[in-house]
């Protein structure tokens, strides 16, 4: 496949196991090329990945009360209190709620709730992706000059400057020595950085870039689930019953174990993601050193490759009636395989599981390290939403809003609304 910047080799699914742990291919290097790092300054930093993979997952249990408290605050702030039907834009609302909740984990209070912070934080990816699109229109040899005429690039550099100003006091506090280290992404990234990387410029750049993986991806997933729930309100009673019983069993204090008991909601989310994932392809990698696939195909250094995740997820060989939405599909697969004794891996059909047929969180060595946290946030948001609200499509005749596709990304139509009505 020829993209605007490089040929992308779509590798057959059968080759995936041989590449699963391969170190000569790299996700971050692919992202650098894909997002024009020379001009946009995108960095896929190992310190940031480590902070998500190790620190975030290690502290996830302790962070649950904070996440739950912030979710309550965000829902009260962003959702209507009307007992009559009230339209909301599914994506924008999801984005602001997740922006507040993830923002609290990323930079902490009071900054995460300040409007000037949230507005910059949530606007950045829009300007970032339009910069990438604008740059791609120019031939490579003209980009070093063209960059100076691009309003989109100016915009992202301006936001970076404002974000740096807002974060500067946090970095200064760390240089002066903190009495107690907070459990925030700012802190983990700081601790995982070499001394020469502890500059305001570099640290704030990592934090503003974090809005894409830690907020936009989750908000896309939430908005897609909300469209699916509003299209199929018949799922609401069973999902409410499950959420209510898990909440009761935990005396209102949800733990990691509570989230793993939300098996119907988990299946619903995975089905929503199967049909409307984040991207058309996954397992995107750049080849760092030449390598030969088991079928003899030779991949030169510098080549880009990806797996056809969208098409695999709609292949009738792996999924019965693949274009039909069945919210309990993955729960049924789990139960059927348990009763037939054929389930080797208990977690196989979970939202967060990755394998050769479930690639929407990536695959192998560099699969998404934030997926457990994302699952918690999405379950908490959807569970709270359905307990407090009835929901339906604003335009019922139009049916389930169709996703938009742009440059391999699949995203929920930002113009589409759902209607909410407070239940009690
Ligand atoms: C529903 C939400 C999310 C989706 C669909 C998603 C999807 C992905 C995908 C497809 C990849 C590439 C993996 C590969 O190709 O093997 C990835 C990588 C990554 N994700 Fe996520 N992600 C989500 C949420 C998050 C969150 C909440 C965080 C952090 C808090 C996060 C942090 C990362 C990081 C750091 C990487 C790079 C991993 C590496 O370079 O080794 N993601 N994600």
Residues 157-172 have a mean pLDDT of: 97
Task: Report whether 379 contacts 60 (CB < 8 A).
Answer: no
Q: Would 352 be classed as within a structural domain?
A: yes
Q: How many domains does the chain have?
A: 1
| Mean pLDDT for all residues in the chain | 95
Task: Report whether 262 contacts 246 (CB < 8 A).
Answer: yes
Report yes or no on whether pTM surpasses 0.85.
Answer: yes
**What are 267-296's pLDDT values in tens digits?**
999 999 999 999 999 999 999 999 999 999
Q: Would 28 be classed as within a structural domain?
A: yes
Ligand 1 and 80: CB distance under 6 A: no
Closest to 273 measured CA to CA, from 201, 359, 356, 209 = 359
Ligand 1 and 103: CB distance under 6 A: no
Q: Would 49 be classed as within a structural domain?
A: yes
DSSP class of 22: -
Of 47, 276, 361, which is best to mutate to test ligand 1, by the most ligand atoms within 8 angstroms of its C-beta? 361
Whose tokens are 């479930």? That residue is 358
Please report the pLDDT score of residue 374 as a whole number. Answer: 98
What is the domain extent for residue 33?
8-422
Q: 351 CA to middle of ligand 1, Å? A: 14
Q: 374 CA to middle of ligand 1, Å? A: 9
Atom 36 of ligand 1, residue of closest alpha carbon: 368
Q: Can you tell me the distance from the alpha carbon of 163 to that of 292, in angstroms, rounded to the nearest whole number?
A: 44
DSSP class of 279: B
Percent of all residues in the chain with a pLDDT value above 70, rounded to a whole number? 100
Atom 31 of ligand 1, residue of closest alpha carbon: 370
Cα 105 from chain centroid (whole Å) = 15
Residues 249-254 have a mean pLDDT of: 96
DSSP string, 60-72: HHHHHHHHHHHHH
Strand partners, 2: 7
**HSE-CB for 36 with a 13 A CA cutoff:** 22
Please report the pLDDT score of residue 318 as a whole number. Answer: 96
Residues 125-146 have a mean pLDDT of: 92
Ligand 1 and 305: CB distance under 6 A: no
**What are 374-411's pLDDT values in tens digits?**
999 999 999 999 999 999 999 989 999 999 998 889 99
- Confidence band (pLDDT; 50, 70, 90) for 345? confident
Atom 9 of ligand 1, residue of closest alpha carbon: 361
Ligand 1 and 27: CB distance under 6 A: yes
Q: 213 CA to middle of ligand 1, Å? A: 6
Atom of ligand 1 nearest to the CA of 28: 40
Ligand 1 and 214: CB distance under 6 A: yes
Task: Report whether 414 contacts 89 (CB < 8 A).
Answer: yes
Q: Can you tell me the distance from the alpha carbon of 361 to that of 359, in angstroms, rounded to the nearest whole number?
A: 6
Q: Would 179 be classed as within a structural domain?
A: yes
**What are 328-342's pLDDT values in tens digits?**
999 999 998 888 888
Ligand 1 and 367: CB distance under 6 A: yes
* Structural tokens at position 77: 């702030």
Please report the pLDDT score of residue 321 as a whole number. Answer: 98
Please report the pLDDT score of residue 353 as a whole number. Answer: 97
Task: Report whether 285 contacts 305 (CB < 8 A).
Answer: yes
Beta-sheet strands, E only, within 23-163: 25-26, 86-89
Question: Is omega for the bond preceding 110 within 30 degrees of 0, making it cis?
Answer: yes
Task: Report whether 78 contacts 93 (CB < 8 A).
Answer: yes
The radius of gyration of the chain's CA atoms, rounded to the nearest angstrom, is 22
| Ligand-binding site membership of 368 (annotated) | yes
Please report the pLDDT score of residue 241 as a whole number. Answer: 98
Task: Report whether 96 contacts 122 (CB < 8 A).
Answer: yes
The residue ranking higher by pLDDT, 363 or 348, is: 363
Please report the pLDDT score of residue 43 as a whole number. Answer: 87
Give the N- to C-terminal CA distance of the chain in Å, as an integer.
53
Q: Can you tell me the distance from the alpha carbon of 402 to that of 41, in angstroms, rounded to the nearest whole number?
A: 33
Of 213, 222, 359, which is best to mutate to test ligand 1, by the most ligand atoms within 8 angstroms of its C-beta? 213
Ligand 1 and 362: CB distance under 6 A: yes
Residues 310-322 have a mean pLDDT of: 97
211, with CB counted inside 10 A (0-12, 13-18, 19+), is buried
Q: What is the CATH number of the domain that holds 411?
A: 1.10.630.10
Q: Are strands 298-299 and 417-422 parallel, antiparallel or unpaired?
A: unpaired
Task: Report whether 277 contacts 363 (CB < 8 A).
Answer: no
Closest to 103 measured CA to CA, from 185, 175, 42 = 185
Q: Would 2 be classed as within a structural domain?
A: no
Closest to 103 measured CA to CA, from 111, 94, 115 = 111
Q: Can you tell me the distance from the alpha carbon of 211 to that of 163, in angstroms, rounded to the nearest whole number?
A: 12
Whose tokens are 């967060």? That residue is 352
Closest to 195 measured CA to CA, from 47, 28, 41, 53 = 47
Q: Can you tell me the distance from the alpha carbon of 11 to that of 5, in angstroms, rounded to the nearest whole number?
A: 18
Q: Would 3 be classed as within a structural domain?
A: no
Residues 212-229 have a mean pLDDT of: 97
Q: Would 351 be classed as within a structural domain?
A: yes
- Confidence band (pLDDT; 50, 70, 90) for 4? confident
Ligand 1 and 361: CB distance under 6 A: yes
* Structural tokens at position 108: 């902490």
Task: Report whether 74 contacts 150 (CB < 8 A).
Answer: no
């Amino acid at each position: 496949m020829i993209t605007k910047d490089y040929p992308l080799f779509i590798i057959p699914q059968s080759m995936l196991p041989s590449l699963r742990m391969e170190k000569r291919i790299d996700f971050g290097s692919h992202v650098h090329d894909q997002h024009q790092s020379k001009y946009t300054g995108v960095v896929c930093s190992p310190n940031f990945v480590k902070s998500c993979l190790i620190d975030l997952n290690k502290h996830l249990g302790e962070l649950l009360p904070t996440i739950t408290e912030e979710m309550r605050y965000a829902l009260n702030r962003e959702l209507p209190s009307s007992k009559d039907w009230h339209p909301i834009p599914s994506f924008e609302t999801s984005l602001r709620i997740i922006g507040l909740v993830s923002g609290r984990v990323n930079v902490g209070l009071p900054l995460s709730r300040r409007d000037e912070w949230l507005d910059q934080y949530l606007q950045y990816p829009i300007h970032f992706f339009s910069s990438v699109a604008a740059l791609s229109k120019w031939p490579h040899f003209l980009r070093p000059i063209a960059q100076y005429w691009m309003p989109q690039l100016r915009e992202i550099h301006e936001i970076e400057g404002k974000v740096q100003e807002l974060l500067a006091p946090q970095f200064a506090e760390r240089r002066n020595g903190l009495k107690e280290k907070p459990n925030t992404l700012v802190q983990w990234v700081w601790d995982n950085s070499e001394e020469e990387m502890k500059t305001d410029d570099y640290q704030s750049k990592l934090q503003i870039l974090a809005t894409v993986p830690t907020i936009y991806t989750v908000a896309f997933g939430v908005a897609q689930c909300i469209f699916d729930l509003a299209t199929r309100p018949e799922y609401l009673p069973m999902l409410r019953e499950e959420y209510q019983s898990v909440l009761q069993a935990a005396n209102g204090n949800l733990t990691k174990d509570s989230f793993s008991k939300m098996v119907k909601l988990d299946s619903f989310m995975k089905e929503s993601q199967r049909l409307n994932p984040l991207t058309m392809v996954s397992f995107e990698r750049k080849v760092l050193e030449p390598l030969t696939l088991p079928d003899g195909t030779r991949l030169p250094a510098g080549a880009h490759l990806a797996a056809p995740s969208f098409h695999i997820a709609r292949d009738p060989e792996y999924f019965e009636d693949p274009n039909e939405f069945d919210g309990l599909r993955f729960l049924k697969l789990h139960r059927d395989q348990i009763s037939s004794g054929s389930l080797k891996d208990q977690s196989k059909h979970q939202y967060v599981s990755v394998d050769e047929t479930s690639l929407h969180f990536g695959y192998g060595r560099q699969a998404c390290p934030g997926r457990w946290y994302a699952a918690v946030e999405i379950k908490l948001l959807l569970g709270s939403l359905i307990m407090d609200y009835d929901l339906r499509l604003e335009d019922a005749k139009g049916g389930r809003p169709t996703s938009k596709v742009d440059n391999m990304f699949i995203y929920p139509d930002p113009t589409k609304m759902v209607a909410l009505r407070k239940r009690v």
